[in-house]
Chains A and B, each alone.
Chain A
């Protein structure tokens, strides 16, 4: 569980996709999420599926992990499919059971929307499976850098993400300790009337916040004595490198967009 919190869902590897710069992967994913909505007929949805399969293949991610990523949304995907089957009334009637009529348009729309979800989930899952949280944070900071002109605190956001990344496991540990300490003093989260159970959370939260405030103060002091004074002129320890692979990846995406625009009806 601790490992999962530090590395997210990242699975180390050395496939083509793993070697890409986080910036090109981020650009790719964000544009892909948009162009998925261009698809509107059999040819374009087919293209999307083939393209996604190709990306899965070159990322050399085991299918098991991708299916896992689908889990949290699968119920809604099935539900949406059923809604379209039941309520979209276009085209010929395919099936008539008296109380239930399935239309051709409903079935087609249901399948299209399901493909849309599956493709979206797969491609975005591949991003987080092949890139560690810390390099995504670095990539995001560099990509969003131009927004600094509009006074958006990009460096600060990335820094806060890195700090949170580092301290989530620590705070989890701490919560566990506080829980055990309160249990040793006789508090019981799982018993008594509802009012008492909810109230039992208070002696858990107060020490958690107090310790967070204290740690925050210590860390802020530690940062400042080491000379932290904001993002201006700061150099970075982890350098990003853009090479031919990344250009190829963006080129493939442009080609895909052109094909989608050409074939859509």
Chain B
């Protein structure tokens, strides 16, 4: 896959297979193309003016960039959680959790209730909010808001969850809860997470990809990458000997 902003090539030929029902962490210095890569995976990248993508993303044997594929439908199958928690400010906790479902036409209240509880449980938030579902989503703490966003992404039952630095604004306690939920999520979903936090990548991921200047320099099992990286650039990056 190659991606450009105008004439600037940000992804310079990435070829990568994300293992199913595993957590894959993507790490690399700022500007290496991590975020662009995951934004290409659910076609959000193309919403940016002047952005171009060349290549294929195969999900269940189908290229999601085929002309006959509806990008909106793809984004339901490949959900995304962003760096900053972004609950809809005018909505309650409950409405936030089911927002995606309603957009996808689910109207049955019982069904909505079931899926709201299921997704909030999977995001490890249910016990903390079950008696306050009518309160505004923005009334929650930063960590709870991020888990609400995870629940919102899970409610539409995607196959893949993309996460872009989901804990960068959270304190260690909130981070630990989000990390716990990510590790649990892989039982049902394939998780791909961009992180600058190397210890987080080591803690929660099964596989790690290291990117540098728009290229994939190393991909392997996380324990191998952190114990005996094959690539000298990876070694320098994770040990802090970079530049």
- A and B form one complex: no
- Identify the A interface with B (CB < 8 A): none
| Contact surface of B with A, Cβ cutoff 8 Å | none
